[in-house]
Amino acid sequence: MVAGSGLRVHVLSSRNTYVPMSFDVFSVDTKQVVASGVGALEARGQVPPVFPVQPGTYKIVRAGEPFEANLDFAVATVTADTVTDYEIVVDPDTFAFRASGPVLGELPRGIELLGVRLSLNGGGNLMFNQMKNAVGTTSGTTAQFGVFGNFGLVIDRGVHFIDVGAEMRLDLIDPVTGSLTPTHDRFQASGLYSYKLNNPYIGPYVRASMKTRIFPGYVYLQSSQPTIAVDVVDKDGNILKTETLGNQANPDNLRYKVAKPFAPFQLQEELGGNLKAVDLDLVLLKLNVGTRIGFGFRQTITNELFVVQGDEGDNPVRLRQVDNYSTLGPLIGANATVTFARWLFGSAQFGLLAPVLNRSDSQSDGFGGRLLLDFSGAAGFKVPILTNLLFASADYTFRLERDAFLTSETQFEHALMARASVTLF
């Protein structure tokens, strides 16, 4: 090893924000992995590590991909007695490589004012496509519009640590035969204060968070009958009004508005203690688990939100109006990340609050049904088969929420993306 030589990798998205993408560094000479890392969130004070490598040429790929990867890779050159800063720009959603090269000029690190680190960025995109007198498809106009924003504030002074962050993303599509509808819609923010005890495993904290959606929400209905009746009812089941859908020949006549902008708007406050439960770093397995336990307070402003009562395929469909609510109770939570070898990795976040106030407003009678649950995670599997012939990968994300003050049903969404590439010659 030549003293002073090294490689430092900075991973940014095409939106000029830092992303925690996992990556491997191969030596071009030996075709072996010499380092692995995760993109640091530098705008919030994280520092990317310097990999102490020998002078030479190195190939950087997403974690788990082989040296032979011919897509999504970057090549960096390290010279003697020099730490090379290398920048990779990726797509914020797919982590597909967009650009790479040595760092030239300043990286976006926010500003530091009186010991407070601040970062703020935003942007958007617009796509417009029009077809007229089309053959083999439908004439019309398609438009896509998106806006995003990120804010960060970090104060780290002695035993005091404050971390405030906010993230907003709204992507809309206006198809040829329908009205404007969101494909991504989420606005969330949080603030954390923790007191650093002289102990690396436990410490008290106070946290506040909010989440909502920006765009109005709609439910698309379907039925084998010519029309669909919609009964709008109050929380006691009394019918407020009845409407008929499906009597016009357009998709918008089969949708019903169930949420206004910023509905529901949820606030949660917590105080308790953080506990680092597991921190393993073995040859093949890396596992980190952090837990928290405390007391939580939640308030939700529904803003005349309606939820489907029963099945969306019923006729008539019942839409129940939901009232604002507030509750409190003990809570537990956990965050975990796991990596096995270079090919299997996962992460998960878990939060559970047991309400003890206003339980009669819940749509569930049992103790388990009343629990307020938020569970989300992601997993990835990447493996080269016969190295030079086939490379396969799969990415899975999910989110499970249960809030019986809104609905007795469990809300669940998940996505699976599988890829395979074959090199014949």
| Domain at 58, CATH number | 2.60.40.180
In a domain, 1, yes or no: no
In a domain, 144, yes or no: yes
Considering 196, 222, 252, which residue would you say is the last residue of a domain?
196
Percent of the residues in the chain that have a pLDDT greater than 90, as a whole number: 42
Give yes or no: residues 246 and 203 share one domain.
yes
Considering 67, 102, 137, which residue would you say is the last residue of a domain?
102
In a domain, 358, yes or no: yes
CA distance 413 to 222: 20
Cβ pair 395, 414 in contact under 8 A: no
In a domain, 292, yes or no: yes
Give yes or no: residues 70 and 135 share one domain.
no
Give yes or no: residues 274 and 309 share one domain.
yes
Cβ pair 362, 329 in contact under 8 A: no
In a domain, 151, yes or no: yes
Best-predicted range by mean pLDDT (102-116, 337-351, 382-396): 337-351
Considering 56, 84, 102, which residue would you say is the last residue of a domain?
102
Q: Look at residue 389 in the predicted model and tell me its pLDDT.
A: 66
Give yes or no: residues 131 and 215 share one domain.
no
Give yes or no: residues 160 and 299 share one domain.
no
Per-residue model confidence as pLDDT tens digits over 106-163: 777 666 666 677 777 788 889 999 999 889 888 999 999 999 888 888 887 778 888 8
Give yes or no: residues 42 and 143 share one domain.
no
Number of domains the chain is built from? 3
Give yes or no: residues 24 and 69 share one domain.
yes
Task: Provide mean pLDDT across the span 195-212.
Answer: 86
Q: Look at residue 2 in the predicted model and tell me its pLDDT.
A: 44
Per-residue model confidence as pLDDT tens digits over 234-278: 888 889 899 999 888 888 888 899 999 999 999 999 999 988 777
Beta-strand pair 6-13/83-90: parallel
In a domain, 337, yes or no: yes
Selection from 12, 37, 28 nearest residue 69 by Cα? 28
Task: Provide mean pLDDT across the span 331-349.
Answer: 84
Q: Which residues pair with 162 in a beta bridge?
A: 155, 193
pLDDT tier, 3 (very low <50, low <70, confident <90, very high otherwise): low
Give yes or no: residues 292 and 396 share one domain.
yes
Q: Look at residue 1 in the predicted model and tell me its pLDDT.
A: 43
Give yes or no: residues 353 and 205 share one domain.
yes
Tokens representing residue 411 in the block: 């809300």
* pTM, 2 dp: 0.78
Give yes or no: residues 403 and 326 share one domain.
yes
Give yes or no: residues 188 and 233 share one domain.
no
Give yes or no: residues 246 and 386 share one domain.
yes
In a domain, 303, yes or no: yes
- Which residue range forms the structural domain that includes residue 95? 6-102
